[in-house]
Structure 1
Amino acid sequence: MLRINYIDHMKALGIILVVLGHAAWLNENIYILIYSFHMPLFFFMSGYLASRQYSIKEALIKLNHRLIIPFGFFFFVSFCFWLPLHFFGSGQASNMPWFDPLSRLITAQADSFHINGVLWFFPCLIVISVLQIIIFSKMKPITAFIISAVILSFLLVNVGLIKTRFYWCFDSALVGLFFFQMGRVAKESGLLNSTVLSKKYFVWILLLILLPIFYIAALQNGRVDMRELSFGVIPFLYPLISCLGIFILFLICSLLKASPTSRLLALSSIAIFPLHLIIFRFLNKFQLMILDSTSVMFSVLPYFNSLLAIVICIFVFNFLKKRAPSAIGL
């Protein structure tokens, strides 16, 4: 399969940001900057790489292979790691019935995956993919994008009225749908491959202009979280800041040369994404036992733990690639 260098770089840097954004003891401003665009980035790339060459039946079979089976597998793995906390722990997990996560799997609300918070991404992208296959694939990308923008605008205006989360992450999926369709438009229009953006001096000028704007706007809007339907101080700024962050990351990646490390991270992201929180759970408990919470070491731990979690997940990915490739959609 032909690799697109800037896509590999974007996925690699994106998954690093996802892991770092979940690391304990991270600086608040870094957290805000990461969350302002890191999940929209993955929905954007999913749309950018979406194929229009399959029939509905073929597309659904591919969806089952690439997303539904990995979702089931990583849910099972997360459940197995959660069970010891239920039986032998003394926290919130021990006060729940052992089958509680299984019942939540049926409803799959975005805020209900307490065994592994990142699992919400799978049903969210599954819902978006089904909508794309059945409805939006019949439309021109620009038409689908406009519809998704109208839906997102309506959601941003009325988000305060949502008291109960929708099943199968449908509410968060309506947000992700906008970035997915934006990815399709970017691919169809050839925006990321334009001649102007191939000129390095122009890219550097854009970065010098856009980076300060992104930094100030993201911090001013404050904490956001697509999973929690939290869009900051001014909700309508959220999609604009996210798009700006995605574009800036693309500009940075367009300056980078092909890298085996980026390609490995991009390929391994299917394992890094759902497994790193499990590793963090054990690392954090161990570190709290041996380190003083006021220690200067805590300022370094988010970066050390992120690197360690990524390395471990890459080993797991390589193992699954050889032993159980279908579990990771290969």
Structure 2
Amino acid sequence: MVRNLSVDVLRGIGILSVVAGHASSGVALYPFTPYSFHMPLFFFLSGIFFSEQRIEKIGPVIVKNVRALLLYSTFFYFAYACLCQILAYYGFTAFAEPFSVQKIFMNQFGGSGAYLFTAAYWFIPCLFFVRVYFSVVHARLFVLLSRGGSGLFVSTAFLLSYLLVGLAAVGYSVNMYDTQTVDWDKIPYLRFAFALFFYYLGALFQKYNCQRFLKHVVVLVSLYVIQQQFWVAAGNLDFWMQASKYQNAYLPVVSSVLSIAFFYGVSDILARNESCSKLLGYIGRNSFPVLLHHLFGFFLINVVLCMVGVIKPADVTGPYYQWDTVHSWPFYIAIGTLISLAIDRYLVQPVTRSSKQLLASKWKALRAGRC
């Protein structure tokens, strides 16, 4: 199967948007600011690889997604929990947080910010539950309901249902923040409800080859103009997956759909350029490590600034802290991304390979002993 470079490039654009958003940057494309689309984009991209006609066994689905997602996030929760104890000792008091097994294993399913460097990890368990739901529940419902009928009709009904669920979740979130009755125990459920629509949108986008409509410059220009009009009318298209920075329930959905379509078309163009496809494609294929480590990359910049006397450890008030943000944000984006890639390539991958080889040799020796 030929790898779709457009998807790799789009994933690269998406993860750079995540890093840019955390670096307090609008990256100069105001109608398409990172917080107007970037997390729905990743649910959409994951949905592209889902086939609702394929029935999978429950056990293997859960094991596969635990290994692909939760295993890594939990390991680095533990690693960063240990690191925060050391940093607090050396004067970075903002990172002081008691070591807790309960937080390491459970916090990622809620706020995800117990140890600060893991603040972005909430996406991982949310994606885990979305994937499991679609593979275990949705696929079975689709096959059952489409027997002897129109698959297109059933898919449309599901898409509209997920859209209504997503709008209801956003509306509930808006009201929750307006009335100052925020309950963090409910936030994971609202994220899950909002994500369902975009995951399924990605599945149908791929199933019906909708990318063919986004290959023309006229379409992209039109999408840009429409998004710009929404931005001008609303004054702000930024939203978080849990907090209300928007005015109503439909803006996050509309801005995300328009942005996903726009950047998919842009990615298709960039994928034809060898240099762009190599750079953005590489970043896209390694978007998971960037998600895991870019906040630590920000911190390393601040450590260097502390070492040369520009700032003090007490000035670093959190994982998003940037010195002279107005002028330094491109540097934080670049270094945060590069550090993440380096950690994965030169530390995580070699250790993982060595561990697998060691386990394989031990298992082989054990089997030989039994024989």
Give the structure-1-normalised TM-score. Answer: 0.84
Q: Which residue of 1 aligns with 2:334?
A: 307
Q: Which residue of 1 aligns with 2:67?
A: 65
Q: Which residue of 2 aligns with 1:97?
A: 98
Could you tell which deviates more after superposition, 297-306 or 245-254? 297-306
Q: Shift of the alpha carbon at 1:121?
A: 0.7
Aligned with residue 290 of structure 1, among 310, 322, 341: 310
Distance 1:121 1:44 in 2: 13
Q: Which residue of 2 aligns with 1:236?
A: 250
Q: Secondary structure at the match of 2:295?
A: helix
Distance 2:326 2:296 in 1: 21
Higher relative contact order (CA 8 A, sep 6+): 1
Distance 2:162 2:189 in 1: 13
Check the 8 A contact 1:148/1:177 in 2, yes or no. yes
Q: Shift of the alpha carbon at 1:131?
A: 1.5
- Written as runs of structure 1 = structure 2, the 5 A alignment for 1:104-183 is 105-115=105-115, 116-138=118-140, 139=142, 140-159=154-173, 160-161=175-176, 163-166=182-185, 169-183=188-202
Q: Shift of the alpha carbon at 1:155?
A: 1.7
Distance 2:29 2:112 in 1: 26
Aligned with residue 260 of structure 1, among 273, 278, 281: 278
Check the 8 A contact 2:170/2:190 in 1, yes or no. no
Q: Secondary structure at the match of 1:300?
A: helix
Aligned with residue 270 of structure 1, among 264, 268, 288: 288
Check the 8 A contact 2:292/2:340 in 1, yes or no. no
CA deviations on 1:129-153 (whole Å, 9 max, x unpaired) are: 1211221122254343222112112
Distance 1:24 1:32 in 2: 14
Aligned with residue 79 of structure 1, among 81, 89, 94: 81
Q: Secondary structure at the match of 1:72?
A: helix
Matched AA of 1:144: F
Matched, 1:246 2:260: yes
Q: Secondary structure at the match of 1:135?
A: helix
Distance 2:198 2:354 in 1: 27
Distance 2:246 2:302 in 1: 28
Q: Secondary structure at the match of 1:82?
A: helix
Q: Shift of the alpha carbon at 1:204?
A: 1.2
Relative to structure 1, the CA distance from residue 81 to residue 131 in structure 2 (aligned partners, 3 Å threshold; closer, same or farther) is same
Q: Which residue of 1 aligns with 2:236?
A: 222
Could you tell which deviates more after superposition, 219-228 or 299-308? 219-228
Q: Secondary structure at the match of 1:40?
A: helix
Distance 2:163 2:201 in 1: 9
Distance 2:83 2:231 in 1: 35
Q: Secondary structure at the match of 2:33?
A: helix
Q: Shift of the alpha carbon at 1:216?
A: 4.1
Greater than 4 Å deviation, 4+ residue runs: 24-32
Check the 8 A contact 1:175/1:226 in 2, yes or no. no
Matched AA of 1:215: Q
Check the 8 A contact 2:65/2:128 in 1, yes or no. yes
Could you tell which deviates more after superposition, 117-126 or 278-287? 278-287
Matched, 1:318 2:345: yes
Number of aligned residue pairs? 317
Matched AA of 1:103: K
Relative to structure 1, the CA distance from residue 204 to residue 149 in structure 2 (aligned partners, 3 Å threshold; closer, same or farther) is same
Distance 1:177 1:321 in 2: 32
Matched AA of 1:313: S
Relative to structure 1, the CA distance from residue 48 to residue 231 in structure 2 (aligned partners, 3 Å threshold; closer, same or farther) is farther
Matched AA of 2:106: I
CA deviations on 1:111-144 (whole Å, 9 max, x unpaired) are: 3424221011111111211211221122254343
Could you tell which deviates more after superposition, 67-76 or 267-276? 67-76
Distance 1:25 1:41 in 2: 18
Matched, 1:46 2:64: no
Relative to structure 1, the CA distance from residue 240 to residue 143 in structure 2 (aligned partners, 3 Å threshold; closer, same or farther) is same
Q: Shift of the alpha carbon at 1:28?
A: 9.2
Cα RMSD (Å)? 3.1
Check the 8 A contact 1:141/1:181 in 2, yes or no. no
Distance 2:105 2:187 in 1: 9
Check the 8 A contact 1:37/1:242 in 2, yes or no. yes
Relative to structure 1, the CA distance from residue 325 to residue 126 in structure 2 (aligned partners, 3 Å threshold; closer, same or farther) is farther
Check the 8 A contact 1:142/1:185 in 2, yes or no. no
Q: Shift of the alpha carbon at 1:297?
A: 6.5
Distance 2:261 2:29 in 1: 20
CA deviations on 1:177-206 (whole Å, 9 max, x unpaired) are: 1111111111122111x3x544xxxx2112
CA deviations on 1:17-38 (whole Å, 9 max, x unpaired) are: 1111111476798597111001
Check the 8 A contact 1:111/1:227 in 2, yes or no. no
Matched AA of 1:318: R
Relative to structure 1, the CA distance from residue 48 to residue 27 in structure 2 (aligned partners, 3 Å threshold; closer, same or farther) is closer
Check the 8 A contact 2:43/2:199 in 1, yes or no. yes
Relative to structure 1, the CA distance from residue 80 to residue 25 in structure 2 (aligned partners, 3 Å threshold; closer, same or farther) is farther
